[in-house]
Every structure is written in structure tokens, then in C-alpha cells.
Amino acid sequence: MFFKNNRLVRVSFPERFLKYFSKPLLARVLGSVGSAEVSKLSRKITSGVKIEDYSMMPRREHFIEVMGRPSAIKNLPSGNLLTYVYTAGGSSEKENANLTLHLLFHNGDGHLIRAEGIIRGFSIRFNIFSKDSSSN
């Protein structure tokens, strides 16, 4: 993640993230921000992504393989929550930012159903659901 004047200007992903998350799928998830609900007051962006073939979604073990051991793991009634905490380097010490990433996986099949990143007090959430479900 790259910031300029306290604004996110670019997001880049290491090639290893594409092992289980195809470029078209990643583009679709990130592109859903264009139709997202934005709340400036609560500093949240929430987007929903409908996936026709849910088997395309990476599973819990895929994320652990690519991202390493999470900072925390919680078993919730809604699913299995992995939390990662990173320091994203900017072009200066002032532009460094902590990133907290919460990934929620379906209890049954282990597929990703929600991803939420919190950076500089701003939350970006992607709810992912199949065309057969109403929401998660």
C-alpha cells in the first residue's frame, strides 16, 4: 500500500497472493468498491461480492500457506476468524501505517466469506457470498 498526502494511492500484491486468488477474481472483489456503501461518519466502506462458483474462493488453509501464521484465531458462530497485523511502509516514517486484516471463513467448507482491512482508522469490508445465498 502506498500513501501520498495521507491518501491511499496504490495497492500492490505480491505475486504469491495470486496462487489461490485469480487476477479476475481479485479484480472483481476490489472493483466492487465502486458500488460500495460509504459512511464517512463511521469511516467504513462495505461492499458485497456475489460469486457464481463459490469453489473459486480461497480457503482458510490457502491464506495461511500464503500469508503465514495469523496474529490471532477465533472460532465464532459465524465462522473461523483469522487476524493479521502488518506495518505498511510508506515513503517516510510519517506515512507508515498499521494494517489489521480480518478474514472470516465458513465453518463448513472453509471458504472465505468476509475480508476486512482496517488502516489508519478506516475500515474496508468485502462480504462475499454465492448466488445461492442471500448474505453472510
Helix (H) or strand (E) holding 60: helix 60-67
pLDDT value at position 47? 85
DSSP secondary structure letters along 28-47: HHHHGGGG-EEETTTTEEEE
Max CA distance (Å), the chain:
46
**14-24 pLDDT, tens digit each:** 677 777 777 77
For residue 57, the enclosing domain spans 2-130
pLDDT value at position 104? 95
Residue 124 forms part of a structural domain: yes
Three cell numbers written together for 120: 489508519
pLDDT value at position 56? 78
Residue 135 forms part of a structural domain: no
**33-44 pLDDT, tens digit each:** 667 787 888 888
75 versus 54: which is more confidently predicted? 75
Instruction: Say which residues have a Cβ less than 8 Å from residue 73's Cβ, sequence separation at least 6.
Output: 80, 81, 82, 83
Domain count, the chain: 1
Percent of the chain with pLDDT strictly greater than 90: 24
